């Protein structure tokens, strides 16, 4: 008994020291630009009231503005998307939100390339983990989706810092975090918008498009990762079981990329199949009639991501389409049978 007490005291000491140390490192080294702090602040404020959730990858995170959607639909919405979010992360994140909020609608944006990948980036898991409020949800996510080898990296910020010796950065970072600008969020330095939305560009309507990468057509239904597809379906089933409406959204990509990829039809057919199977709505914005004029290259910050101006336009369009869908209107007035870029060819 004496030994147990002795060991317990020492274990508590270790846990306390590691927790305090990790918090200090987090404060010093986590870049002020990192959206997670603001996201969690907003989540806490709105906890228990969220009705609409946008979830998926960075295309959703940067492409849908909850603020505009709230105005358009009169709802309380939140953007839970994160970079490279995998389907198992989506499932856990969504269930953690739905358990604490009266969620009615989920806009689910799945990036086709992430349905194929076998190499799951640990960094993407960190982003999902950090957006969970409850320790039970976090633990369940770790056990279910992360190999134990990744646990220290995912749970402790001090293991994620890449350069401990960049003291200039630390000085500027801390200085800014202590400033009013940081607290009030009124600055061009912060790219976090609101309710989980994050935009890369500083200005609201930056017209410059930077083409980061060119990718070849890779999407084939046969090469979809079975485990990811299972989680995709599990997410939809979870929503249906909990009377949550699922709207599957394929975010618009730039014309340059559409022309280069050439597999937009394959992607559309794959998602249509899933939507039909589960009888849910599917809005493919690469089949949007006014795609070329509404989402020209000026609306993107790179091939895959809308800029803030593009996001504002897109959110309005999405709200309009969704309202029409709810009113039982014909969706053919918005969408074509094929991608407009292919018709133009």
Partner 1 sequence: MTINSLAFLIFFMVLTILYYLPFVKKYQWVLLLAASYIFYTLAGNHNLIYIIITTIVTYIGAILLDRKNTIQEEYVKAHKGILPKQEIKDYKEKIKKEKHKITFFCVFINLGMLIVIKYGSFLMGNVGRIFGKENLSDISFLQIAVPLGISYYTLISIGYLLDVSKGKCKSEKNLFKTALFVSYFPQITQGPFSRFTEMAPRLFTSHKFSYENLSYGCQRILWGFFKKMVIADRMKPMVDAIFENYQECSGFSLLLGCMYFSIQLYADFSGYMDIVCGCSNILGIELAENFKRPFFSKSLAEYWRRWHITLCSWFRDYLFYPLSISKAAVKFGRIGKKILPPSIAKLVPSIFALSIIWLSTGLWHDASWRYVFWGIYNGVIIIASMCLEPWFIKIEKKLNIKAENKLFQGFQMIRTFLIISLLKVFPIANSTKGSLVILYKIFFEFQMELSRAACFPTFKTEDFFCVGIGLLIFIYVSFKQEKAPMHESINRCPFVVRWAIYLVLLLMILTFGVFDTGLTGGFEYAQY
- Give contact residues for partner 1 (rule: CB under 8 A): 3, 6-7, 10, 13-14, 17-18, 21-22, 25, 122, 147-153, 156, 158-166
As measured in angstroms, the least distance from the Cβ of 154 to partner 1 is 9
- Nearer CB in complex with partner 1: 16/344: 16
The number of beta carbons lying within 10 Å of the beta carbon of residue 206 is: 17
As measured in angstroms, the least distance from the Cβ of 294 to partner 1 is 40
Token couple for 131: 């957006």
Q: How far apart are CA 325 and CA 261, in angstroms?
A: 29
As measured in angstroms, the least distance from the Cβ of 116 to partner 1 is 19
245-250, strands of its sheet edge to edge: 77-79, 52-56, 105-109, 245-250, 281-284
| Exposure string over 232-262, b if 16+ CB within 10 A, otherwise e | beebbebbeeeebbbbbbbbbbbbbbbebbe
As measured in angstroms, the least distance from the Cβ of 231 to partner 1 is 21
- Concatenating the DSSP letter of every residue in 11-28 gives HHHHHHHHHHHHHHHHHH
Classify burial at 175, counting beta carbons within 10 Å of its beta carbon; exposed 0-12, middle 13-18, buried 19 or more: exposed
Place of tokens 């996001």: 311
As measured in angstroms, the least distance from the Cβ of 166 to partner 1 is 8
As measured in angstroms, the least distance from the Cβ of 151 to partner 1 is 5
Token couple for 254: 């730039």
- Cβ contact 102:53 at 8 Å: no
- Nearer CB in complex with partner 1: 157/308: 157
Classify burial at 228, counting beta carbons within 10 Å of its beta carbon; exposed 0-12, middle 13-18, buried 19 or more: buried
As measured in angstroms, the least distance from the Cβ of 57 to partner 1 is 20
DSSP alpha helix (H) spans, 30-134: 36-46, 58-63, 66-73, 87-100, 122-130
The number of beta carbons lying within 10 Å of the beta carbon of residue 51 is: 17
Coil, strand or helix: which one is 281?
Answer: strand
- Nearer CB in complex with partner 1: 2/226: 2
As measured in angstroms, the least distance from the Cβ of 10 to partner 1 is 8
- Nearer CB in complex with partner 1: 150/181: 150
């Amino acid at each position: 008994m004496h030994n147990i007490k002795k060991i317990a005291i020492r274990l508590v000491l270790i846990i306390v020291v590691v927790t305090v140390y990790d918090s200090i490192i987090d404060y010093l080294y986590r870049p002020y630009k990192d959206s997670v702090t603001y996201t969690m602040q907003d989540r806490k404020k709105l906890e228990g009231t969220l009705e609409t959730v946008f979830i998926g990858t960075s295309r959703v995170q940067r492409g849908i503005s909850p603020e505009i959607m709230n105005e358009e639909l009169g709802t309380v919405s939140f953007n839970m998307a994160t970079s490279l979010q995998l389907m198992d992360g989506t499932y856990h994140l969504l269930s953690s939100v739905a358990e604490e909020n009266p969620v009615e609608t989920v806009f689910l944006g799945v990036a086709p390339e992430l349905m194929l990948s076998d190499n799951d980036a640990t960094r993407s898991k960190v982003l999902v983990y950090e957006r969970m409020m409850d320790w039970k949800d976090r633990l369940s996510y770790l056990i279910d989706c992360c190999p134990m080898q990744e646990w220290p990296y995912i749970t402790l910020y001090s293991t994620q810092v890449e350069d401990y010796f960049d003291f200039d950065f630390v000085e500027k970072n801390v200085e800014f975090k202590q400033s009013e600008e940081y607290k009030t969020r009124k600055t061009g330095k912060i790219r976090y918008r609101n309710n989980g939305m994050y935009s890369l560009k500083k200005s609201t309507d930056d017209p410059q498009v930077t083409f980061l990468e060119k990718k070849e057509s890779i999407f084939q239904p046969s090469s979809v990762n079975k485990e990811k597809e299972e989680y995709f379906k599990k997410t939809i089933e979870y929503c249906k079981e909990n009377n949550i409406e699922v709207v599957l959204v394929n975010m618009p990509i730039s014309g340059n990329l559409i022309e280069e990829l050439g597999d937009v039809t394959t992607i559309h057919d794959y998602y249509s199949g899933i939507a039909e199977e589960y009888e849910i709505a599917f809005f493919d914005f690469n089949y949007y009639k006014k795609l070329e004029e509404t989402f020209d290259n000026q609306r993107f910050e790179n091939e895959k991501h809308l800029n803030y101006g593009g996001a504002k336009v897109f959110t309005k369009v999405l709200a309009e389409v969704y309202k029409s869908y709810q009113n039982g209107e014909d969706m053919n007035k918005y969408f074509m049978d094929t991608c407009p870029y292919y018709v133009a060819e």
